[in-house]
Structure 1
Amino acid sequence: MTDSAVMLKAGISFHERGNLDQANACYQSALEADPECADAWYLCGRLAMDAGLLEDAEPLLLRSIELAPKIANYPLALGTLRAQLGQSEAAKACYENALALNPSLHQAYLGLARLEFGEGRYDEARALVVPLLSLPDAEREQAEALVGECTFATDSLAQLLGWWATASGVPFDSGKVLHVGCGPQTLASFPELASAGQWAELRLDIDPSVRPDLIGTMTDMSAVESGAVKLVYSSHNIEHLQDHEVPLALAEFFRVLMPGGVAIVRVPDIQAVCEMVAQDRLYDTAYISPAGPIAPIDMLFGLRRAIEKGNYYMRHTTGFTATTLAWRLKEAGFRFAFVRRLPGFELSAVAFRASSEGEGAVTQ
């Protein structure tokens, strides 16, 4: 084994363990031993990407392609980099180049599908990854997640639950729903869910005046047995928690769901709210709700009218963007977590618990 190969092997070991400085030192030593080593240039580029140094990664990957133009993984990595830089057409060309070199390179199909998805071409994205659903590995998991996201973006909740019933083997035409933080509402307030199956509703709230079936908090739902419900529905609740309590609440959502269960979570879209605030419109009416006009200040800190009357449960103490809500749900253990930005300053998330112990959360 050459000196360059020895240093590359050591560098890869450090890289896989997240020790980027040591990995970089090894890769640089490999290049000193053999400046024409395409793998070393490639690995330096991947390391720069992992370190968030996207602009630095591009010339390194280009050099690897120059030295070894027939290796498909090199344009694949360059395509991933250009996609991260928002260069969709250049990324597409790289993925197509990678597939011309290796037509069975599944990650290139996934990359192309993500580009199609990002541009709203959901049918095209789905067509690219459906053939990957027969694979037995993590690439199948990523393909399944993308098919689910396409369904979430284009179809009804009933169709999304139908997709999950097929993927998980758990039927979703009936079952028990835990309505968390229900207030005075029932599932009739969410007709898309109410009409998606025959549901037995169990209402839980901290406020006894709304006459819930169970009195309790989102962070301690010990009155509900583990795995007791098929669906959890929470509309505009977790923003009332302290930020450090959010993982506790989502862990409780996860716990009470049966394997293959689904959580539906809705919260204010704090990114959209802040766009109004950035326009100096903190007190302007954003929309009209059943409770009256709602301004950005109400979505940031809680409904002023209710708080003024002493209902301190209405205070908001944390917030979410689409990215952070998906991250929180996956952190809680959900296999998939899809989030959509809705009109009216709202995020709608649907998160899916794996149907068996061997299925973990998927990086999407």
Structure 2
Amino acid sequence: MDLIDYYELLDIPRESDVDTIKKAVRNQRKDWTRKQNHPNPDVRARAEKRIQGISEAEQTLLDASRRADYDRRLAAHVEQPPQQSGATPGRNWVGIAQEYLDAGNATQAHMAGTEATNQNQSNPEGWYVRAQASLELENLANAQFEISEALRLSPNHAEYHSVLGDIFVDADQFDTARKSYEHAQSLEPSNPYYALGIADTYMRSGKPDLALPLVERALERDPGNQGLKNALASVIMGAASNKWSTHADDSMTITNDAQLECGKKALVRIETLGITDNETLASIDEFRRVVTDAGTVRWYSSDSLIGYGGALAVAVIIMFVAGGGLSFLAFAAVVAIIALYVYRHRMVDWKWRGRKLPNSVTRTGIQTSVSV
């Protein structure tokens, strides 16, 4: 337990190259940062430790000399697995399993949790820690059975219902997951994090407007909670972008002024939250870039540049060669051609997109201004 396997922590092979390591670090950090707002306090505590471990893994594996030394120590390290049932019955296998989970070793955590339930099948904590390990191992069938056993032994334990909600979320059964989080909230209404679990099911099912009031109320009850502020910022961005035009691949684009205004209002609200988390700030910066780009005036190229140039040249020639009224009409034509080119090729980004994208895209999302 004294040497953490960073490769297992990041879920990558030991021969992984630098790009693979960077991608794994980015994905794991994003996932565990989100879990810092988890309804389950055990998961929140584990997320704090896991993020620290991810940072240590990043510093070690992305430094060639440190990685070489670490690989030598890891190869020489002999991990002592949990003993088979019946041995050293006095050991705290639930605690050992929790330590393995904190270290990112879900396989050993499950073995230790299994030892706990082998020694005492009526121990709900053993089943509970087994379920958490199975969930990290993405063995949802085992996880559901194990947490169901914990609930059978302790049916009014809010955290157990929360884990059941996690399992259903991973299985994309968001309505069922929501019922589990709501049950947990009914058992422990003072815990604001269960509202985040409910809100997450709405976000994942494409209904951020339903998630927004839940997170807002949770933050009102605990206004200094940075985790809730991060969650609210994410929901505000989700609720705003959900009002933008939607492509066939479900990506979002701003195609009218109402959608742009919606994005601007979201940024104003987010600025009041005082976000300090780097991952959340990165998401906000990307959202701000999209909104800023959509409202930026640019020149756009023309497929009819030769036609514009030819018409302009003819009008100029006539203007100088002809006299009287014809020259005046040619001058008016020059002005009209230039004005038409400016009108059609210098505009805000959202207007250009609105012209170029098919109606099947531009007709989606809000079309007139509404509150965020």
Q: TM-score, normalised by structure 2?
A: 0.44
Q: Which has the higher helix share?
A: 2
Q: TM-score, normalised by structure 1?
A: 0.45
**Larger RCO, structures 1/2 (Cα 8 Å, 6+ apart):** 2
